[in-house]
Structure 1
Amino acid sequence: MNILLIAAAVAAPSAAPAPEPASEQGAGGETVERKLDEEIVVIGQRPSFKTEVVQVGAFRNQSILDTPSSIAVISRALLDAQGATGLEEALRNTPGVTQQATSPTTSNNFVNRGVLMNARTNYRLNGALQIINLSPVPIENKQRVELLKGVSALYYGLSTPSGIVNVVAKRAGDRPVTNVYVNGDAEGSVGGGLDIGRTFGPDGQFGVRLNGYASHVETPIDGVDGYRYLASGAFDWQVSERLSLKLDVEHYRRATDEPGGIALAAARLLTEIPDPHHRYAPADAPYRTWSTNILGRADYVLGGSWSLRAEAGLATSRRQRSRADFSFTSTTTGPTTGIGRISGNYTPDQEYRNEYLRAELAGKLDTFGIEHELLFGVARNRQIQKDQNQRSYAAVAQNIYDPVRISFDDLVFTTTRLQPGSVNIDTGLYALDIAHVGEKILLIGGVRRVIYDTEEAGEDYTIKTWTPTAGIVFRPTPKTSLYFTYIEGLESAGTAPAGTENEGDILRPVVSKQIEAGGRIEVLGALASLAYFRIDRALGYIDADNLYVVDGTAIHEGVEASLQGNLTPQLSVAIAGQYLKATQRDTGVAAQNGLRVDNTPRWGGSVFAEYRPEALPDFGINGGVYYTGLRYADALNTFELPAYTTYSLGANYKLRLDGERAITFRVNGDNITNKRYWSTGGSVFYVGLARQVRFSASMDF
């Protein structure tokens, strides 16, 4: 449902006037994209958490009032105010986002609307390239983070109906950028980076934005540390009035240690959540990742309102991962004594590759007084997963209440399991018509032809299907909009998670359906949104035999609301909430039907506010509240993960120097009450991080 206004990204503005134009006129009268540069400083105007336009997928530079779906945009101003260092801090501003089965110190396995976001299909760079989220995505070189919620099949093809996380790279703008910064935390992390942006050439036709960052990483978990690096470049060339080129290149590396998780059977026996500083995994048990993303794009104006766009990209990721899951030796004495063991495996050779191609033709056509924005496109995503050798080791004694140090080099590896690789090719041909009926109504209709081929050990298959889209947007006033949409999509049924008997098995894709109705209104300097959604999809869960299966139907139904922007010149807010009812049906297990889908909180929400006194405009103080409701860890709802609330506090001050130079100092504290909570659901559980205090100093030249 989230990709309905595809043509608007490369065609004309919306039917009703937007507060800020989403496009400009070229020399020949054709419509071209308006530059999006949130770092441009407007005299007398303060940075805002509100965003006028979106960039995810086909919504590039489209007015947010004209997007017929729920979308959360976390601007650079909001990321900076919170001292965010990764996607986890960014997405906590969106209601209902939880994590599953992986430690937040190694990678993020996000769940939205009760549906897992697939690490290889649901994350995008600049609304296009499928990047691989097995390596934590850095945000130092990103201008914003967007979460486009729900089904997104028309434009993105195969992906789960949880949503698309889009990270938008910083680019050179009209204002030169030279920024040097250092940051760290109370645990001992320390890092530094450089951000340079320039346009040059006789007509400013060239643009370059370079980012580099390196840090030593410490965590609140005993003995879990490491490092990470980032190098990136965003390059722009306006070759002529008709042709423009873009190229993005980024490489990042992260190396930390595995902290160790707690198996479901052990977690359900605990009477309290364990100490968040404890580490159960062996010392130096590695979690190391290397990722490279390359994305190129060309736009050519054919004449009038018609244009061509071509994109190509490559995302590669390599991972070395050691798992360690704690379980009790005895279910009767273990919970009292803490005596148990860790068992797990080591996979040194996980390699993934995504190859991306897309071509589009877009333009306008008038018929009987109705203006049609038309889009025709073809896209191809080829995903390659190479063979993996997983080595299991013999169980080693451990104590959950008083962990002992275990050397990774002392582990005795007993078996090696070959996990065969696979090749998935998702080819889509799509067409969309957005009809402007008068000045206030948009009628939307589109369809995608999906051809999905899979080659894996012992079985090759092809799935062909049609995924339709339909919707309407009504603009009663220039500052309000109402919408309704229906969309179908093909989604991966998932990969059997860690700890299951069929771990690593890839299940066949299934069709999901979604309806959504909502509205938006501008209030003062903020944007308020309200939406109802319902997703019907195949149900995946871990059965009584510890097998991950797809059986039955899951109905995810809920309401979301948000308010984001400046309520006064001094007060900025980001407020969001969600009610979700996710129900299992037709499972074939009478006791399971009607129960909640695992890891789906009924309620979730966040409030973040920053205040800048009128008398001290360069000083800001902020605070946040983040709530996640009760979840169940298993399909039979026998193990509860209690609701929890964490709090944040922060402050920042800009010290102005000669000329345009300035130094900005920031300090941010997360989970300041040191709340103990389960941060993940799934088959393996991890405790949320203890209190963290981060600081930074950033100098603009």
Structure 2
Amino acid sequence: MTTRFPTLSPIAAAAWLLATHALAQTAPDSAQLQPVTVTGRATPPASVSGWGEIPLAKTPVQASVFDAAQLKDSGVQRLSDLTAADPAVSDAYNAEGYWDFLTVRGYVIDNRFNFRRDGLPINAETSIPLDNKARVEILKGTSGMQAGTSAPGGLVNYVVKRPLDTPLSSIGLEWRQPGTVTAAFDLSRRFGVDNAFGVRLNAAAAHLDPMVRDSEGRRHLFALAADWRVSPDTLLEAEIETSHRSQPSQPGFSMLGDTVPPPGDPRLSLNNQPWSLPVVMNATTASLRWQQRLSTDWRFVAHAATQQLRTDDRLAFPFGCFDPNPAPDGTYYADRYCPNGTYDLYDFRSENERRRTDALDLSLQGKLQTGAIAHTLTAGVLQSRVRNRFQQQAYNYVGTGNVEGTLFTSADPSLTDENTNRDERSTELYLRDAVALTDAATAWLGVRHSRIERESVRTDGSRPTDYAQSFTTPSIALSYAFARDQLVYASWGQGVESNVVTNRPRYSNAGEVFTTKSRQAEIGLKGASDAFDWNLAAFDIRRPRIQDFGSCDADGTCTTRLDGTAHHRGIEASAGWRRGAWALRGGAQWLRAKVEGSADPTIDGQQPTNVPQRTLKLQAAYDVAALPGLNLQGGLVHESARMVLPENSASIPGWTRVDAALRYETQVAGVRTTWRAGVDNLFDKRAWRESPYQFSHAYLYPLAPRTFRLSMQVDL
């Protein structure tokens, strides 16, 4: 049975929330508790950094940590919403109703290899709900120390909510314009002798009705986490999460011939054919972790997880201007739409996609002393297995569409195209050592040795490939605490990507394996005082490029080979300040990203597509003294121009967006209630938000229109 939530208007939702609040205020004044404000500066660890429980402020890496409260205050619903908070993070083909892509330091991170869940590898080619996540961590930089194979730029780690020491009962309801309604609850309890057992239950359900038309859907989540404190030295943790999301996806707009058009209607979806079907994403993930303290300084951790995904990927897919008639001037456009606003439309369906990832990590962590030098060590082995199974897919030309969304065609779901099944097994041995050379100086040493075995074959048994290889990725950093809570560091590290040329007749070197190593050097400063904290880093990342050469239109006419380097150099700065009622935080990134050494003169020396050279993210908050518990918030996001085409012959201009929000906390009869209201894109700015060059095609996505949101959270 399907549960549907009512669609509320802004006035109805506001009236409902205010009426509920008015009823709460009728409680006797004697029940009103005075709010208590606690201020302080926390430096939590970020497990994505690879240095365990060492606080992020004391490690030689740049990372951002967003806890659950921050996500709620900012109205974050999905990973891509975090692009408003971190200057190093930007959009990369983020469409309504699809999974999230991120660009970090100018590189699109790989959804297959650059994502972690409680430190273990997962596949992010799915919708990952945030309702049961305690925090989201984003590492910025090369990831060779934490991952066997991965794209440079960074890693994303989701940290699951676990049972708390104190009881928690939290209920939330949110409305978002025009009619998305989400209900959720979070329950945590401990029981048994000495509260040895703990459980935490998270559940959420939503009717999805976003600003993009023809995109209604639904989602739900159920997650259960439990632990058993067997003894003061032994902890067992288990959790399982299952989620479902069904929602039509949103194709991108594009160039019209040689012209970048003005920003289109951000509410228009080109996936509005009568036969359009939703993208359906189902996911089940479970893990088991055993932590055993061996002595005061040493502990052993065994952590296993499995993730199983099932996806129906379906879209009325606009692509190019080929068939059956040329553009008005006789020119075909392979990577954009026709000058008159029409495009070729395809019925794409890849149903019953199944992806499975299993991982087991065994590690030993502790401290030891060698003479006057102290070591903080982690040694371990990570084994993972990936098994992806697909069926034949449909990718059929069905006619012509247009950017007004007024042309309609007939469906053609015929399964005419083969898909590719993939298997991978990997074993990674890793060693990390934080060597305290003096009270102020630390050497951070890491090495990871990986062996991978990969196989692929088309669903009809053709084009098989298989190969095995081993490689080692080292990293090193030196840090010096020149004053209390002031750190300067320099680091260097490597990352690896492995690719094989497809066994297609058109390739002259089919089956050749390319193992490319990216390298990053970084210097940085970190500092903090009671009211102020800051980070400054300069980085230099080089990533080898792999490209096809030749006509690639007949057998043996295409050759894949190395072709220069994607060279990204930049400066990233962030700071936070809090004094009295005011709290300010902001960050900026200046990025010089270029293609160097390419044999293609139209590409060599050019800026990569969809990468802004300058970003600025600012947030401000103010506690209103006249009404204790009321906090006013504002945000500003600025991103500079982005290139649309690889040869840099077209670009989209930069844009600036302003957001506003408030949070009001009150306590009635011992029940804490939190009200949140916000408006994203306050001035309804119209702009092209991003310009991903995806699937050898230029796409454009508009900035979302002004959007209101309201929510209530009750903590019993």
Give the TM-score of the pair, scaled to structure 2: 0.85
> Which deviations, in whole Å up to 9, do the C-alpha atoms of 1:53-108 show, x marking residues without a partner?
32326344321122211111123332222122121223421113223335144221
> Which deviations, in whole Å up to 9, do the C-alpha atoms of 1:447-479 show, x marking residues without a partner?
211112111122111121111111112112231
What corresponds to 1:361 in structure 2?
364
Q: For the Cα contact (< 8 Å) 2:35–2:629, is it kept in 1?
A: no
Once the two structures are TM-superposed, the CA of residue 544 in structure 1 deviates from its matched residue by 9.1
Once the two structures are TM-superposed, the CA of residue 261 in structure 1 deviates from its matched residue by 2.4
Once the two structures are TM-superposed, the CA of residue 640 in structure 1 deviates from its matched residue by 0.8
One-letter code of the match for 1:623? G
Query: Are residues 90 and 277 of structure 1, via their aligned partners in 2, closer, same or farther at CA, if it must alter by over 3 Å?
Result: same
One-letter code of the match for 1:580? L
Find the residue that maps to 1:239 and give its secondary structure.
strand
Find the residue that maps to 1:645 and give its secondary structure.
strand
> Which deviations, in whole Å up to 9, do the C-alpha atoms of 1:93-137 show, x marking residues without a partner?
1113223335144221111111111112212112x2223222222
Q: In 2, distance between residues paired with 1:355 and 1:185?
A: 36
Q: In 1, distance between residues paired with 2:109 and 2:501?
A: 12
> Which deviations, in whole Å up to 9, do the C-alpha atoms of 1:397-442 show, x marking residues without a partner?
3221353455xxx402455111121112221112222211221111
What corresponds to 1:78 in structure 2?
70
One-letter code of the match for 1:188? G
What corresponds to 1:618 in structure 2?
629
Counterparts in 2 of 1:643-662, with a 5 A limit? 643-659=654-670, 661-662=671-672
Q: Does 1:380 align with 2:371?
A: no
Q: For the Cα contact (< 8 Å) 1:525–1:567, is it kept in 2?
A: yes
Match of 1:45 among 35, 38, 44: 38
Once the two structures are TM-superposed, the CA of residue 526 in structure 1 deviates from its matched residue by 4.0
Match of 2:216 among 208, 225, 229: 225
What corresponds to 1:488 in structure 2?
494
| Identity across the alignment (%) | 24
Match of 1:609 among 612, 620, 624: 620
- Using the TM superposition, name which of 66-75 and 505-514 deviates more: 505-514
One-letter code of the match for 1:520? K
What corresponds to 1:454 in structure 2?
454
> Which deviations, in whole Å up to 9, do the C-alpha atoms of 1:554-581 show, x marking residues without a partner?
11111111123x5123222331111111
Q: Does 1:700 align with 2:692?
A: no
What corresponds to 1:554 in structure 2?
566
What corresponds to 1:37 in structure 2?
none
Q: Does 1:538 align with 2:550?
A: no
Match of 1:145 among 136, 144, 153: 136
Query: Are residues 95 and 540 of structure 1, via their aligned partners in 2, closer, same or farther at CA, if it must alter by over 3 Å?
Result: farther
> Which deviations, in whole Å up to 9, do the C-alpha atoms of 1:367-409 show, x marking residues without a partner?
2211122222111121221133221122323221353455xxx
Query: Are residues 47 and 549 of structure 1, via their aligned partners in 2, closer, same or farther at CA, if it must alter by over 3 Å?
Result: farther
Q: In 2, distance between residues paired with 1:494 and 1:280?
A: 35
Find the residue that maps to 2:72 and give its secondary structure.
helix
Find the residue that maps to 2:194 and give its secondary structure.
coil
Find the residue that maps to 1:511 and give its secondary structure.
strand
Query: Are residues 673 and 44 of structure 1, via their aligned partners in 2, closer, same or farther at CA, if it must alter by over 3 Å?
Result: closer
What corresponds to 2:419 in structure 1?
419
Q: In 1, distance between residues paired with 2:517 and 2:364?
A: 27
What corresponds to 1:205 in structure 2?
196
What corresponds to 2:28 in structure 1?
none
Q: In 2, distance between residues paired with 1:400 and 1:643?
A: 22
Q: In 1, distance between residues paired with 2:313 and 2:187?
A: 34
Match of 1:396 among 387, 396, 399: 399
One-letter code of the match for 1:92? A
Q: In 1, distance between residues paired with 2:478 and 2:693?
A: 37
Match of 1:513 among 501, 512, 519: 519
What corresponds to 2:692 in structure 1?
681
Q: For the Cα contact (< 8 Å) 1:129–1:295, is it kept in 2?
A: no
What corresponds to 1:237 in structure 2?
228
Match of 2:151 among 156, 160, 163: 160
One-letter code of the match for 1:519? L
Q: For the Cα contact (< 8 Å) 1:394–1:414, is it kept in 2?
A: no
> Which deviations, in whole Å up to 9, do the C-alpha atoms of 1:180-236 show, x marking residues without a partner?
111121211112011111222222222221100000001112211100111112222
What corresponds to 1:573 in structure 2?
584
Q: For the Cα contact (< 8 Å) 1:59–1:67, is it kept in 2?
A: yes
Q: In 1, distance between residues paired with 2:513 and 2:703?
A: 30
Query: Are residues 526 and 209 of structure 1, via their aligned partners in 2, closer, same or farther at CA, if it must alter by over 3 Å?
Result: farther
Q: For the Cα contact (< 8 Å) 2:253–2:403, is it kept in 1?
A: no
Once the two structures are TM-superposed, the CA of residue 319 in structure 1 deviates from its matched residue by 1.3
| Larger RCO (CA within 8 A; separation ≥ 6) | 1
Find the residue that maps to 2:110 and give its secondary structure.
coil
Query: Are residues 556 and 541 of structure 1, via their aligned partners in 2, closer, same or farther at CA, if it must alter by over 3 Å?
Result: farther
Q: In 2, distance between residues paired with 1:685 and 1:349?
A: 29
Counterparts in 2 of 1:48-67, with a 5 A limit? 51-56=43-48, 58-67=50-59
Query: Are residues 361 and 635 of structure 1, via their aligned partners in 2, closer, same or farther at CA, if it must alter by over 3 Å?
Result: same
Query: Are residues 508 and 382 of structure 1, via their aligned partners in 2, closer, same or farther at CA, if it must alter by over 3 Å?
Result: farther
Query: Are residues 207 and 386 of structure 1, via their aligned partners in 2, closer, same or farther at CA, if it must alter by over 3 Å?
Result: same
Q: In 2, distance between residues paired with 1:467 and 1:52?
A: 27
Q: In 1, distance between residues paired with 2:541 and 2:655?
A: 26
Once the two structures are TM-superposed, the CA of residue 341 in structure 1 deviates from its matched residue by 3.6
Question: Aligned pairs, how many?
Answer: 648
> Which deviations, in whole Å up to 9, do the C-alpha atoms of 1:613-641 show, x marking residues without a partner?
23323111111111121111232112212
What corresponds to 2:298 in structure 1?
306
One-letter code of the match for 2:568? H
Query: Are residues 51 and 214 of structure 1, via their aligned partners in 2, closer, same or farther at CA, if it must alter by over 3 Å?
Result: farther
Larger Rg: 2
Q: In 2, distance between residues paired with 1:513 and 1:444?
A: 17
Find the residue that maps to 2:155 and give its secondary structure.
strand
Q: For the Cα contact (< 8 Å) 1:319–1:348, is it kept in 2?
A: yes
- Using the TM superposition, name which of 553-562 and 411-420 deviates more: 411-420
- Using the TM superposition, name which of 678-687 and 293-302 deviates more: 678-687
Counterparts in 2 of 1:462-481, with a 5 A limit? 462-481=468-487
> Which deviations, in whole Å up to 9, do the C-alpha atoms of 1:480-539 show, x marking residues without a partner?
11111111121256999xxxx9xxx99854211111111111143342101111111112
What corresponds to 1:585 in structure 2?
596
Once the two structures are TM-superposed, the CA of residue 270 in structure 1 deviates from its matched residue by 3.8
Gaps of 5+ in 2: 1-33, 330-336, 458-463, 553-557
Once the two structures are TM-superposed, the CA of residue 590 in structure 1 deviates from its matched residue by 2.4
One-letter code of the match for 1:226? G
Once the two structures are TM-superposed, the CA of residue 262 in structure 1 deviates from its matched residue by 3.3
Q: In 1, distance between residues paired with 2:89 and 2:424?
A: 27
Q: Does 1:325 align with 2:318?
A: yes
What corresponds to 1:257 in structure 2?
248
What corresponds to 1:28 in structure 2?
none
Once the two structures are TM-superposed, the CA of residue 325 in structure 1 deviates from its matched residue by 1.4
Q: For the Cα contact (< 8 Å) 2:565–2:597, is it kept in 1?
A: yes
Q: In 2, distance between residues paired with 1:233 and 1:150?
A: 33
What corresponds to 2:29 in structure 1?
none
Find the residue that maps to 1:77 and give its secondary structure.
helix
One-letter code of the match for 2:541? I
Q: Does 1:670 align with 2:680?
A: yes
One-letter code of the match for 1:700? D
Find the residue that maps to 2:145 and give its secondary structure.
helix
What corresponds to 2:23 in structure 1?
none
> Which deviations, in whole Å up to 9, do the C-alpha atoms of 1:320-375 show, x marking residues without a partner?
11231154565447866434442241111221111111111222221221112222
Query: Are residues 421 and 563 of structure 1, via their aligned partners in 2, closer, same or farther at CA, if it must alter by over 3 Å?
Result: same
What corresponds to 1:273 in structure 2?
263
